[in-house]
Amino acid sequence: MTVIVEDKNGTYSYDEAVELTGHGRYNYLMLLACSVSTIGVAMDMFGFSVVVAAASCDLQLTLAISGLLNSVPLAGIIFAYPWGYYADTRGRRRALLLSSSVGFVLAVLTSLAPSWQAMLVLKLIGCIFSTAAYTLTMTYLGECTGSVRRRRYLFVMNSFNLLADFIFYFLAYLILPLTFSIAIPWLGISLRPWRVYSLILAAPLGLGAVMLLMLRESPKLLASRGRMEEALDVLRKMYEWNGGNKDDYPVKVLSMENVQQSSGENLWRSVVSQTVPLFKPPLLWRTMQLFYLFAICTSTNNVFLLWYPMIVNLFFNSHASGAAVEDQSFCQRVVANISTSIEDDNYVCDDTISLSTMYAGMLLGVVFALMNLAASAVAAYRKLVLMVIFLISTVCLALVELLREPVSNMVAFTMVQCTAVGVSSVASYFVDLYPTAYRGLGTSLGIMFGRLIALGGVNLVGAIIIDHCTATFYSWMVFVASGIVVALFLPKDSKQYK
């Protein structure tokens, strides 16, 4: 908790200055704008797996092409480096506006793609822009929120991100069962429910961009660039929005303690100066540690979430067809149904998604959002929260195969993905432990590393799950369990926030 000591000269540290802006409309609008943007990113990335399944007949998708399309959103994260650099040198808000607005336009165009090749290219370019909004909102929100509420706000924002799962499955439940088809000759397509569904998934990105227009740049970023008067002007505006008179705002001078100033350098030297400190002492060990924890949180959730519609569909179809028996494991139920589909010579294209799959997806979103809100209530113990989340995922990875009862199977498989709740915990360490000049890039690179691991994991799981399904779950169990050990070496929360 920040203790504010009155200074006769009106000089305060940055954390004190933010606390003195109060807490009101500006903070709520910022939290809402960042939350809507992260929902937009999640729907653009993970809702796309539902779009691919629903578009399989129209675009004549094979299983291999479907897997390729599902992995494309993760490929967009490889551009986290330039986005992090752009945010650290040109502004958090400017980067967020650009990524959200362009991502929205390309998501709309993707919904109108006449072929899977066009969809792949548009989705890749679109996610290069849209995925940047996820990491940048963490830094932006963290820097514009007082230290008293910062961790809780990050948890709340992540809860909205996780609630996106419920939203896009609920929208699928409402829209995909419809049967209309409207020809659009000049585009060479027919407007079917999956295209309308894809259009609606793009909406939160556009809405988030509009809301960001009402906000101001991060004052900490401005201060780090030597633009003190602009930083103070933003702080006064925040104070005014929160119910005060800007002329009464007591801060006249910002102390540069804990605000590292950036120097004017050419592009190459600036890139080097922004990056090298992350990978050499004293930040090297912390960077390796946080990158590894990001990899566990994001890849475990992303890999199984992207395969969730297909795997859950296969699982429920094994019950519907009567192919499953009570003593079968989770893998036996899923793999048996895959084999049946492949060997069926009379296969007929079916782009419908079972109601059970959509119910399971909606439940997944609600459970994880509630878990994250519960974690936000104990945000002060983020190290313990992270370790408990890893422990739950580890146990569930073991139970997926050990249990034989179908409902228990599905619950365990769903809870494997709870590592997403730990993302905000890891991100908050970047905000608190890294200098301002490296914070945006560090967070972006951490997420990029995790998503690259997920990109490989999506394709790996698709390649080996039929022949090595059990080994897949047990190997991933070891990977997640190692996160508990690594998290032990994080700073003590009581010491960090004293």
Distance between CA atoms of 118 and 427, rounded to whole angstroms?
34
Give the length of the chain: 498
CATH (domain of 185): 1.20.1250.20
Q: pLDDT by residue (tens digit) across 373-414?
A: 787 777 778 888 899 999 999 999 999 888 878 888 888 998
Residue 432 within a domain: yes
Domain that holds residue 100: 11-496
Segments in the chain below pLDDT 70: 1-9, 63-64, 80-81, 256-271, 273-274, 318-327, 336-351, 436-437, 440-441, 494-498
Is 188 in a helix, a strand, or coil? coil
Q: pLDDT by residue (tens digit) across 250-281?
A: 888 887 665 555 544 554 566 676 677 778 88
Residue 4 within a domain: no
Distance between CA atoms of 186 and 191, rounded to whole angstroms?
12
Distance between CA atoms of 222 and 225, rounded to whole angstroms?
5
Q: Which amino acid is at 44?
A: D
Residue 6 within a domain: no
Q: Which two tokens stand for residue 369?
A: 């959002």
**Closest CA relative to residue 141, chosen from 126, 129, 151, 131:** 151
Residue 360 within a domain: yes
Q: How far is CA 287 from CA 76, 284, 490, in A?
A: 22, 5, 11
Q: How far is CA 260 from CA 5, 242, 254, 447, in A?
A: 22, 27, 12, 23
Residue 176 within a domain: yes
From first CA to last CA, the distance across the chain in angstroms is 7
Residue 218 within a domain: yes
| H-assigned helices in 55-214 | 63-75, 80-90, 92-111, 116-130, 132-143, 147-175, 193-212
Residue 5 within a domain: no
Distance between CA atoms of 30 and 131, rounded to whole angstroms?
19
The pLDDT, as a whole number, for residue 54 is 85
Signed CA dihedral, 333, 335, 341, 345: sign only: negative
For residue 12, report the phi and psi dihedrals to the nearest 5 degrees. Answer: -135, 155
What pTM was estimated for this model as a whole?
A: 0.76
Residue 3 within a domain: no
| H-assigned helices in 242-329 | 267-275, 284-306, 308-320
Q: Report whether 458 contacts 67 (CB < 8 A).
A: yes
* Number of domains forming the structure of the chain: 1
Q: Which two tokens stand for residue 392?
A: 């739950």
